[in-house]
Copies of this chain bind each other. A is one copy, B any other.
Amino acid sequence: MTPTDSAQKAPAKDPWDLPDVSGMVVGVLGGTGDQGRGLAYRLARQGQHVIIGSRSADRAEAAAGELGNGVEGAENADCARRSDIVIVAVPWDGHADLLGSLTEELAGKLVVDCVNPLGFDKKGAYALKPEEGSAAQQAAALLPDSRVTAAFHHLSAVLLQDPAVEKIDTDVMVLGESRADTDTVQALAARIPGMRGVFAGRLRNAHQVESLVANLISMNRRYKAHAGLRATDV
C-alpha cells in the first residue's frame, strides 16, 4: 500500500458501532393508532422519552395515560416541535396532508417514516404505488428541510402492544440517505429487546420494503402468525 492509498482509505467503520440515543426525545405522529401506540409503548418501556401526537391533544393525552411508562401526549405539531426523532405512523390516507402541514415543525428533525401504502379487497392486501415512489419518498419530497429515513414497517402491532411479550424477535430494515441518520434509527430499534436495526438501502428502495407488508399479511393468514423478518448472515 502506498502512502497515498492509506491516506485515501479510512478504515471501514464498524456497521454495528451505533450512537447512544437513550437521551433523545421520540415523537410518534399517529401515536394513537395501533402501530404508533405499539412503538411508543415499546420504546417508553425501555426508558425512552416518548411523546405521542394526534390531531386532538385530548385524545393523545388519553392514549398516553393508558400507555404509562412516562409517555406524554400532545397535538401533532407540538409533538413534532418537542421531539428529536419523529416517527410517522399515520394511515397512508392522511400521510401527505399531515406532513405537508408540519414542514416547519419538522425542519431539522430526524423523521422516520413507517407508513405502508396498501389497498385491501376481498383477495387481501396489495401494494399501492405512491406517485413519489414510496411513502418515504413522499415524506422526503414534502419535508426538504428534514432528515427523512424509513423503518419499522414489518412489526406486528399486536405483539408490540402485548405487555406479556418480552422480546420482539425481528430485524428492522432501516433506509435513508445519510449514514449518521440511519445509524441513529438503527440504534433506536436496538433499544427494544429482540429487535435489531439493519441498514437496507436508500430511500429509492423503500417501496418494496413498505409493500412487503402485503406479503406478511398473506403469511399471517396462512400460518396464523404474526410474521416478522430476520436477515440471515448479517
Contact = CB atoms under 8 A, between A and B. Distances in A.
Given A227-B231, A230-B229, A234-B223, A173 B215 contact: yes
A234 B227 CA distance: 6
Contacts of A231: 216, 219, 225, 227-230
A202 B125 CA distance: 10
B126 A204 contact: yes
A42 to B, nearest CB: 16
A179 to B, nearest CB: 9
A198 interface: yes
A41 to B, nearest CB: 19
Number of copies: 2
- In the complex, which range does the number of interface residues on chain A fall in? 35 or more
B15 A233 contact: no
Interface of A: 15, 123-127, 129, 156, 169-170, 173, 175, 198-202, 204-205, 207-209, 211-212, 214-219, 222-223, 225-234
Given A199-B222, A207-B208, A169 B214 contact: no
Contact of A200 (B170, B200, B219, B234): B219
Given A211-B208, A219-B200, A232 B127 contact: no
A175 to B, nearest CB: 8
Nearest to A233: B225
B205 A126 contact: yes
Given A225-B234, A228-B232, A231-B219, A205 B170 contact: no
Contact of A232 (B170, B218, B222): B170
B233 A226 contact: yes
B201 A205 contact: no
Given A169-B232, A230-B232, A232-B228, A208 B215 contact: yes
Contacts of A129: 129
Contacts of A218: 199-202, 205
